[in-house]
A = this chain, B = another copy of it.
């Protein structure tokens, strides 16, 4: 069955739907980083979004589109990360239950956040199989609607709203770069950006050690995520059928970056901009660092995806 692909109208509708529930996050710049890298960078700071990540946009759009009967039964997902917190808070704001399946090795800070938003957590073994099986049981028991973290029409529409705000605030960007994990943010970003500014270049950035999206788009077949070996812990998932199709048709390319560049970029943002970002959020700046000549003198927008880091376990 072919997927229904979101278009820009769908994303604009999503923005109208969610804009009173989300933060319109700031766009920041750093003269010193610009000077170091010979480029004019703009950072769309979704680390300041509710729950500390862009995921709140998609989750809010998804829960606000449930009908009355669905809403009563609540929502469910499996996630060890920001999507779990985002869906929990979005559900809480609407006054409906959220059932989260989490691997039992998820970071304490994420468990605490999800609990704090009042979700019911079911722990499982840290394998994709266990997560999917446990989710299936939870779904049967509760009748909750599964909100996939990225391979979901409404979630993609929600994530695409960040680019609308971004290009509204800085309307002459030459390039936008976002990190690619499952491709939800990337899909929404490319649809919005190309609709608003057809000649803009939109690139993904992913760790070389988790370059499944790069290889999938290059070969035209979906590669699964490799065993995780990157500090960018938000980018371990592989593309879904829907995001694969959107990115294949629209994206201008994907930059793969080394771990040391990610660490360098993360530290540069912490030290120069005084904002807390998670490693995944540093991946687009790592792409600039590794390809300085390519972006020289250009106006480049980077989406900072989140700020949830374990302060007891920093990469530097």
A275 on the interface (CB 8 Å rule)?
Answer: yes
Known contacts: A274-B48, A275-B275, A276-B275. The answer to whether A311 contacts B314 by CB under 8 A is yes
Chain B residue contacts of A271, Cβ below 8 A: 109, 311
A254 to chain B, nearest CB (A): 27
Q: How far is the CA of A314 from the CA of B316 in the complex (A)?
A: 10
Q: How far is the CA of A275 from the CA of B277 in the complex (A)?
A: 9
- Interface digits, A236-279 against B, CB 8 Å rule (1 contact, 0 not)? 00000000000000000000000000000001001101111100
The smallest beta-carbon distance between A220 and chain B, in angstroms, is 38
A228 vs B304: C-alpha distance in the bound complex, in angstroms? 38
CB-CB under 8 A from A52, the residues of chain B are 274
Kindly report which residue of chain B lies nearest to residue A48, judged by CB atoms.
Answer: B274
Interface size, chain A (Cβ < 8 Å): 18
CA distance A200 to B8 in the complex (A): 49
Q: Chain A 35-77, CB within 8 Å of chain B: the 1/0 string?
A: 0000000000001100010000000000000000000000000
Q: A26 on the interface (CB 8 Å rule)?
A: yes
Q: Hey, which chain B residues are within 8 Å of A219, CB to CB?
A: none
Binding site for B on A (CB under 8 A): 26, 47-48, 52, 109, 267, 270-271, 273-277, 307, 311-312, 314, 316
Collect the chain B residues with CB atoms within 8 Å of residue A316's CB.
311-312
Given A312-B316, A314-B311, A316-B312 in contact, is the A270-B274 Cβ separation under 8 Å?
no
* 10 interchain residue pairs of minimum CB distance: A274-B307, A274-B276, A47-B274, A311-B316, A275-B275, A48-B274, A270-B276, A276-B276, A52-B274, A274-B275
A270 touches B314 (CB 8 A): no
Residue of B nearest to A113 (CB): B271
Measured in the bound complex, the distance between the Cα atoms of B268 and A311 in whole Å is 11
A33 to chain B minimum Cβ distance, whole angstroms, is: 13
Q: List 6 A-B contacts (CB under 8 A).
A: A26-B26, A47-B274, A109-B271, A267-B311, A274-B277, A312-B316
Known: A26-B26, A270-B311. 19 other contacts (CB 8 A): A47-B274, A48-B273, A48-B274, A52-B274, A109-B271, A267-B311, A270-B276, A271-B311, A274-B275, A274-B276, A274-B277, A274-B307, A275-B275, A275-B276, A276-B276, A311-B314, A311-B316, A312-B316, A314-B314
Q: How far is the CB of A316 from chain B (nearest CB, A)?
A: 6
Q: Give complex CA distance A71, B181 in Å.
A: 54
Bound Cα distance from A267 to B310, whole angstroms: 11
Q: Which residues of B contact A267 (CB under 8 A)?
A: 311
